[in-house]
Structures are given as C-alpha cells and as structure tokens.
Structure 1
Amino acid sequence: MFISTMFKAVNTFKCRKFIKVKFVNLYKNACFCTNKSEVSSSYEPPKPENPFKRTFRILGNDMKTAKNKVQSFITKVQGVREVTNKVPKSPYRDGVFPEHCDIAIIGGGAMGSSIAYWLKQRAPNAITVTVIEKDPSYVDASTVLSVGGLRQQFSLEENIRMSLFGAEFLRNIKQHLSVEGHDPPDVQFTPFGYLCLASEEGAQQLEENANLQKKLGAKNELLTPVKLKQKFPWINTDGIALGCHGLENEGWFDPWSLLYAFKTKALSLGVEYVDGEAVGFEFKKMPDMLTEGVEPGSYEAVEKVLVKTESGELRSIKFGFVIIAAGPHSARVAKMARIGTGEGMLSIPLPVEPRKRYVFCINCKNGPGLNTPLTIDPSGAYFRREGLAGNYICGRSPLPEEEPSVDNLDVDYDFFDKNVWPILAKRVPAFESVKVKSAWSGYYEYNTYDENGIVGPHPYYTNLYIATGFSGHGIQHSPAVGRSVMEMILDGDFETIDLKRMSFDRLITDTPLIEQNIF
C-alpha cells in the first residue's frame, strides 16, 4: 500500500532510482575483510543471516528512508520548508575533535560551504579546513528558506559578473560537485528568467542597467508596454513604462539542493564540519607586529575560536585563518573578535543584521502559465510560478517603518493582505481572488550600510576574512564568492572577478557601493 502511494506522490523513476542506488551501495558495503591479527582467539563469528531475511531487512530500512525523501518532496510542493534529518554528516577525522586547522570557517550555509569546497578542491592535500555550523539541521538557515533566485539584472559590474559565473557553475554543477557513490547533484534550475518592471521614473535606470548587463555578457530584452502585453497577455501595464526580461541564465533553483551538494562535496574532499556555535575568540599578543594606527607592541591577533558543542562542552580550535560567513549572525561573531568595540580600525562594526522576510504561497487556477518569469513590480512586490498545480510564491520587502521583529520566524499574514495582494491583484487581474495556502519566513543577512556584500580581509587582522551582507542575493553569488575568497587566501588577490570595491575598507573610507536598481 505504501509503495503504491509513494509512487503516485512523486516521479516513479526517481523513487525507483533512489531505492536501486541505495540497495546497490548497501550490497557493495556488505562485503569486507577483517584483519585477523586484530581478532581475539575467543572471537566467534556470528551465524550467517538468512539471505532472504537480510534482503528484506535492508529493503525495509531503505523504504523508510525513501518515505522520508518522498514526504520532503510533498511538503515542499505544498510550500512547507522541512529539511531536518537530511543533512550529510561525517565523524571527525580519526574520531578526534579538530583542535587545530589551517582555515576555520564560521558558518556552514551555502556561503561557508562554497568557500570550504573551493579551498579544498584547489589544495586538497596542502591545507586543512574546518567549518563550524551551529544549526546542523539547517531548519532555520537563511540558505534553505530563500527563494533561490538567479538573475543578472543588477547595476553593479561585480554583482552581474558573480551572477553570470553562478549561472555557469549551476550549468556545470555535475562536473564541480559530483561525488562518487552519490547521485549527481541536481538543483532543479527553472530557466524562465526575471521580468523587472519600471515606472516612468525608473525607466532610464532600467535601460542603463540592461545595457551594462549586455556589455558584460548577459542576454536580455527591453519591452515597451505594448510588447509586454503581447508577450505576457496576463499582465496589466498601467503605470509601467518599460520592462526588462532576462532571456538566458536567469530563473530560480532549489537552495537546499545547492547547499547539500556543496557540503557533500566538501566532506568528500576532507573538510571537517563541527556541529556547534562559535561563542568567542582567543587572542595572541604579537609585539613585533607593526600595523598602521596601532601602538607598537600592542597588536593582538585572533588565534583560536571557542566552540560550544551540541553537548554543551566548550572546546577551542586553533587556526591560521578564520572566515566569518555566518549570514545574518555575522555581526555577532565579528563583535567577539572586537570588531566594532575596539579602537581605530576596530571601532567600525560589521553592519550586518538579520531582517525577516515573508514568502507566501498562493493558488490561482487561471493564472499566468508555466513559462512565466519571476516578475518584479516597481513597488518591489514579486511573484513566480511554483510547480504544475497553479501555485505561486510571492512577497515584498517591507518599508523601513514596517520591519517586523526578528525574535522568531512567525509569519504575519496581514502583511500579505495589506502590502502584497493589492499590488499583485492590480498587476495580474487573475490574482484578484487568490488566498494564501501557506507561508514561511527567513532571515536576510542585511547590510545596513549599502545592502551589498562585504568580501575580503579585515584591515586590522591579517588572518581574518569576511564573506557576508549580501542582503538577499547571497545564495546566487555563493559560487563566485567562494572562489574569490579562495583566491585571496591562496593567491593573495582576486584572480577572476575583482571584488576589491566590496571589501571592508569601504566602511572606513565611507564609499558605499549602491545598487542603482529599481527594486
């Protein structure tokens, strides 16, 4: 009965393939050799298990695993984000807590796992990498609660180039992140593009952005209201002066699948993941270190990170380099390193804080079709199609005075009624009678300074790097940022995409890097 229900719930071929691969792997692992010298003379081998009973026992266990995977798929289609108990795990090397490493990464989401992957694939035997993640289930992680958008429609060259590389990386993800013994990674990329709409006030900026994107290699088309209506009959063009539609390398993907692929590959390369929370740093006096703006003989370097493990034990990890990639919690980690509480260069805090964003799932049987792009209204309200059953996800960033509390991830459904639905119903008349089916919320790692990522070394510490503050587009830039941080540490500079303007230094010189975009 369960088998029949399961195969009806999801794609039959995928389920059969999952069970087949798991059964074959178990069969391969069933045959092993024992070193006779390690077996005591009193050892008596267990009685062989009946092969039929053994087969059914193994299949029974795998059916339970398959059931969990199927249920995850079903709940995701219904708009519920449940990702617990599906995280690849690995014991510490030789069963010993890693008390030292060459590079420690605080934060094991997409950004931290990408950095770990790029470092180890570049120097698999030369360096040791340890990732510290306080939420190993990722149930509240920003990565898995994001909508997974990929677009080149930015105004800054850095962001456009990072998105172009992100698209290339996802296209060739099997070459990058495949692991022997695992199914090839599939992030379920949906290539229907973005459609950014501009009012008369924002039309010129949208056109300038589109021209820069084309110059850098992106492919898009500018559409007048008449052409918008011809291409997308479901749209109401009142108040719209221009639209930009991405033709290639734009769409959305499953963030959880990307994180899973990064982490699985990183583990296979020898990266160690520590399940615990970074709660402090230990420092080392370096009297011979001379740094501008620092009194001679007073310089202290970060040397160890203190980790509170899942069991409540406090352990330390000594490192050569440390990277803060803790998403919305990065400022808290930076503060433990005296960033924002010290003097001189340490007086400037890391301007990153959590901001809660809602995602609503609605249903509309006669709404825009399957090839509908992720559409962004001039107000910032957006929607996209989700699956085959007439479901759509949508949302909007609140105004500064509307920012919700970040004490929890509860959803305010009134926000949809007041701030999202009226805009979508006007832009897409078919949405006039929709209702919310489900919803979730997640945290942006919001950069309060200029809403752009901060990447690179801290100007005071020679061995502390930062990769955070992307304010909603970090998931799509994680492949490029991971590679860039690897280049900075191992090569001493950015070799592929120049991200110098995104460094912490811009906070000191007060030169914000503003996205001149209309949403």
Structure 2
Amino acid sequence: MLRRSLQLALGRDVLGRGLGTHRGGSTLDWNGKMSEIKKKIQSVLPGGAWTQLHDTSYLPPEHSDVVIVGGGVMGLSVAYWLKRLERPRGAIRVLVVERDHTYSQASTVLSVGGIRQQFSVPENIQLSLFSIDFLRNINEYLAVVDDPPLDIQFNPLGYLLLASEKGAAVLESNVRVQRQEGAKVCLMSPEQLRNKFPWINPEGVALASYGFVSSSSHAETPSGEEVTLKRVHEVHVKIDHSLEYQPVECAIVINAAGAWSGQIAELAGVGKGPPGTLQGTKLPVEPRKRYVYLWNCPQGPGLETPFVIDASGAYFRREGLGNNYLGGCSPTEEEEPDPENLEVDHEFFQDKVWPPLAQRVPAFESLKVRSAWAGYYDYNTFDQNGVVGPHPLVVNMYFATGFSGHGLQQAPAVGRAVAEMVLHGNFQTINLSPFLFNRFHLGEKVHEHNII
C-alpha cells in the first residue's frame, strides 16, 4: 500500500482563494443563510458525531471516519446525508474542513441562486428534481423542535430559456427528455411568449422553454494498464492563525473543495502518473471567475418574472420587491477573466451583458447598476458536468465537485448520492455512473446542451 497524506489548510496560506461559484432560476437567498443552515444540520445530527472546526481554540480530532474537504453547500450536503443514512445512528464520525468560516468567498453565497430542470442529460434533470423537492420541503429534513422554521426564501418562479431559429430544434429535443424524466416544462411560441410576458421583446426568438417548479495491491484497467492502488491515511489540517498542522487519521476523504478540488486531488497523487494512463489522468477542475451584477429598473418586469436566459447567453432574475435584478453572462474562452482575484470588470456589463438584455427587455434601457461581485465556478474543463463518486486508484477518495455552475441547485441530491456510494458501495436513489471519474481516462464526455 502506498501511504500518502494530504496537506490541507484553513486560512489564506492554503490554496490562495475561495471556493467556486454557481448561478442558476427558481431562486434561493443564500447570502446570510449558510451559518443558519449549518446550525440546523448540526442540531439534527445524533450524539455529537458531527465535528466542525470553528476557531483556533478548538483542535480537530486525531481520528475521524470521514473527512470532508470543503464546507460549502456540497460538503455540508454530503455530511448531512452520511449522518441521516448511517445505520446504526452515531456510528460514523464526520469532520468537515472549511477554511473560510465567514463564507465571504464561497460560491454558495456568491451565486445568483436558482433551481432549474431544463437540462438535456437525464441524470442532471433527476438531480434537480430531487433537490427541488428537498428545498421545497426543507423543514421536513432540517426542522428543529422549538426552533422557528428554516426560511431559505424559496421562490418557485421557474426558468425561461429563449432559443433562436438555430437553437430551436435542440431546445425542443431537450424538452422531450425533460418531460420523460417528470419535469414540468412547456414550449412557447413567440406569440405565446409575448402574451404571457408582455415585457419581453420576442424579436429573434423562435421558441421558448418555460419550466416551473412544483412538487499496495495491483489492478488492471480495461486497456490492460497495470496500476498501483493508493489510499489516503491522514489529512493534515492547518488551523487559522497557526503554523501547526494537526494530522487527522481517516478512512475516507470526500473532495468537495469546489474550484480548488483539482489541487486537492493532486495532493493525493491524482494525475501523477505517465500521460495517457489512468494514473496520469488529472481531475480536470479549475477555478473560473464569473461576475454577478445587481441593477435597479423601476419599469422592469414584475414579481412573476422567471429566471430568463436569453439566446445570447445573457441572463437575469428579479431580486426582491424593490425593482432590483441580478444577472450576467458567461464569457467566451477568449474572454475568460484572470481567476487570481475577485475583482469585477464593470466594462463587461456595459459591453456584453447590458446590450442583449436591453434588446430583449426594452425597459432595461434605463437600468442603473447598483453593485456587483465576482465568485468562482468549479469548472470541469472536460465536459462541464459534475464528478461524483470514488477515484478508481485512490480508493478512499470520493468526489463531489466540478459542476461548473449548477452545483448549488443539485447539492441535496449529490450529497445523498455520495453518501450512498460511501455507505453502500453503489448509487441507489439516482444512478450517476455517467459522472464517475473514469470517463476522463476513457474520453467519454457527458454532453449537456444546457450549460450556462
């Protein structure tokens, strides 16, 4: 067996920046909610089996059955489902490692926030449907006796995807798949679009999709490659404001480090072998910076506005009652901003976001930008879809990462899937085999047409 330890850190000197970012339609106000959700999760877990790092006066345990690297919504979801599904209760010790206790740079709170069903891959649709049900009924899972109900401000206003003539056939095909999986989605002609949403200019729109929310040993690879299996025996956790690392022996490591999960995987030896081999296959997840802009427009669309995604790629949703809106647009590969910091490019809004939105919603001609921020995607450069489940060679490392912008909305389902794999050795609720790590070595991409 090859012994290897992970050097992980809490604080600025580990990997340098925050976790990844997401955006998405039926909206969730995650800003300011993470600490409340963490408290709720902790309170429903039995017998103090959950261990969370809070401050420098508290040292991590010397032993933990499962160490989860990343305490954002994905890591917390895995922790929740591990404790909920374990038998007997209290049998598994779980340690969640998170370096940014304020969540000031975490993708969970820097996202636009949304839940949509309009994917083209069945597994992505199933993940969202499960997560929608979880979030709609969140107090059935996280309610605490004598505490007020948890309010995540779930607003089921749906998504509206607009397609030009060029994209209409793909949109129509995707809707057929979505309906087969149980998603409630309807197709709309330009005339129907104008009648339902009179604030939209349907020029250039051929078809729209409106989705609404309701309820040391050796093995051989297939190619004959001889490989060496590895195991992580301990995680070294660096405490805030300290130069010391605390080793934590563990049986399983969950890599839910978002935009930095590729670097965490490298610490475990993932991708360190010869190029073209399974041992040399890296986790292709890296940070990508995305901008979110908030603007005010007194004459803008009303309270029933869905999350709108224009054919140009620009998107927006209404935020609250004060005629405010959140939106943005993904840059092209050539326009990708430097992820070394979270500075905002305001000219990007003027040049790339505002023009198509003003063309689509004429009222936006008079909008005024009030604020803006940037966050990170855990961007999967291979196929922009999630990586879920075990690594084939580092036999006790599991992944919950790489969702490239739709991790927040799928986290409840992904957390359960990873917990099932850890506890039972297979996916039980949703078969996520297409999202396993092996596809990177085999070159088998998951082709999703609805990446935003």
The normalised TM-score by structure 2 is 0.85
Task: Tell me, in whole angstroms, the C-alpha distance in 1 between the residues paired with 2:189 and 2:220.
Answer: 54
8 Å CA contact 2:229–2:393 kept in 1: the answer is no
Alignment counterpart, residue 200 of structure 2, candidates 231, 235, 240: 235
SS at match of 1:347: coil
Superposition pairs of residues 6-155 of structure 1, within 5 angstroms: 88=39, 97-123=60-86, 124-155=89-120
Matched, 1:513 2:446: yes
| Equivalent position SS for 1:196 | strand
Q: CA deviation at 1:249?
A: 3.8
Q: Residue 416 of structure 1: SS of its match in structure 2?
A: helix
Find 2:363's aligned residue among 430, 455, 463: 430
Q: Which residue, out of 208, 219, 228, partners 1:291?
A: 219
5 Å matches for 1:303-318? Answer: 303-310=233-240, 311-318=242-249
Cα pair 1:378 1:518 within 8 Å, conserved? no
- After superposition, residues 457-496 of structure 1 pair within 5 angstroms as 457-496=390-429
Indicate if the aligned counterparts of 1:115 and 1:486 stay in contact, CA closer than 8 A.
yes
Q: Deviations over 1:461-484 (max 9, x none)?
A: 221111100000000110000000
Cα distance in structure 2, aligned partners of 1:180 and 1:134: 30
Shift of residue 116 of structure 1?
A: 0.3
Q: Quick one: distance in 1 between partners of 2:395 and 2:245?
A: 26
Change over 3 Å in CA distance of 1:373–1:410 after alignment to 2: same
Q: Pick from 150, 172, 185: which aligns with 1:185? A: 150
1:359 aligns with 2:324: no
Aligned residue number for residue 455 of structure 1: 388
Query: In the aligned structure 2, how far is the partner of 1:85 from the partner of 1:500?
Result: 32
- Secondary structure of 1:490's partner? helix
Q: CA deviation at 1:180?
A: 3.5
1:259-408 aligned at under 5 Å gives the runs 286=216, 289-292=217-220, 299-310=229-240, 311-343=242-274, 344-408=277-341
The answer to whether residue 189 in structure 2 is matched with residue 224 in structure 1 is yes
CA contact (8 A) 2:384 2:451 kept: no
| 1:210 corresponds to which of 146, 163, 175 | 175
Amino acid at match of 1:108: G
> What's the CA shift string for 1:415-474, capped at 9, x where partnerless?
000000000110000011212111111101110000000101001022111110000000
The 3 A distance-change label for structure 1 pair 465 and 226 is same
Unaligned runs of 5+ in 2: 1-28, 43-50
Deviation, 1:331, is: 0.5
Give the residue type in structure 2 aligned to 1:316.
P
Give the direction of change, closer, same or farther, for the CA distance of 1:384–1:295 in structure 2 (3 Å limit). Answer: closer
Size of the alignment, in residue pairs? Answer: 403
Distance 2:59 2:366 in 1: 59
1:174 CA drift (Å):
0.4
Question: Which amino acid counterpart does residue 443 of structure 2 have in structure 1?
Answer: D
In structure 1, the partner of 2:12 is none
SS in 1 for 2:271: coil
Which position in structure 2 is the counterpart of 1:262? none
Instruction: Decide whether the 8 Å contact of 2:65 with 2:250 is kept in 1.
Output: yes
State the distance in 2 between where 1:234 and 1:245 align. 16
Q: 1:363 to 1:82 in 2, by over 3 A?
A: same
Q: Distance in 2 between matches of 1:479 and 1:176?
A: 11
User: Which whole-Å deviations, capped at 9, do the CAs of 1:71-94 have from their partners, x for residues lacking one?
Assistant: xxxxxxxx9967898775977799
Confirm or deny: 8 A CA contact 1:205 1:518 kept in the other structure: no
1:228 aligns to what SS in structure 2?
helix
Corresponding position of 1:167: 132
Q: Percent of pairs identical after alignment?
A: 52
Residue matched to 2:48: none
Using the alignment, how far apart are the partners of 1:163 and 1:92 within structure 2?
Answer: 30
Residues in 2 aligned to 1:181 and 1:312: alpha-carbon distance in whole angstroms: 41
CA contact (8 A) 1:301 1:461 kept: yes
Gap change, CA 1:510 and 1:91, over 3 Å in 2: closer
CA distance 1:101–1:204, shift in 2 (3 Å): same
Distance in 2 between residues matched to 1:300 and 1:503, nearest whole Å: 18
Q: Which amino acid aligns with 2:244?
A: E
Higher helix share: 1
Distance 1:91 1:379 in 2: 43
Q: Deviations over 1:211-239 (max 9, x none)?
A: 11111111121110011101111111111
CA contact (8 A) 1:84 1:139 kept: no
Partner of 1:76: none
Match of 1:47 in 2: none
TM-score normalised to the size of structure 1?
0.74
1:105 is aligned with what amino acid? I
Structure 1 residue 179, shift from structure 2 partner: 2.6
Alpha-carbon distance in structure 2 between the residues aligned to 1:163 and 1:365: 33
Aligned CA RMSD, in angstroms, stands at: 2.3
What is the CA–CA distance in structure 1 between the aligned matches of 2:218 and 2:290, rounded to whole Å?
44
Name the aligned partner's letter for residue 168 of structure 2: A
Structure 1: state its 5+ residue gaps: 1-78, 251-285
Counterpart position of 2:161 = 196
Cα distance, 1:131 vs. partner?
Answer: 0.8
Aligned partner letter, 1:339: V
Q: Distance in 1 between matches of 2:284 and 2:451?
A: 23
Alpha-carbon shift at residue 300 of structure 1 (Å): 3.7
| 3-state DSSP of counterpart to 2:342 | coil
**Does the Cα contact within 8 Å between 1:205 and 1:517 map onto a contact in 2?**
no
Residue equivalent to 1:439: 372
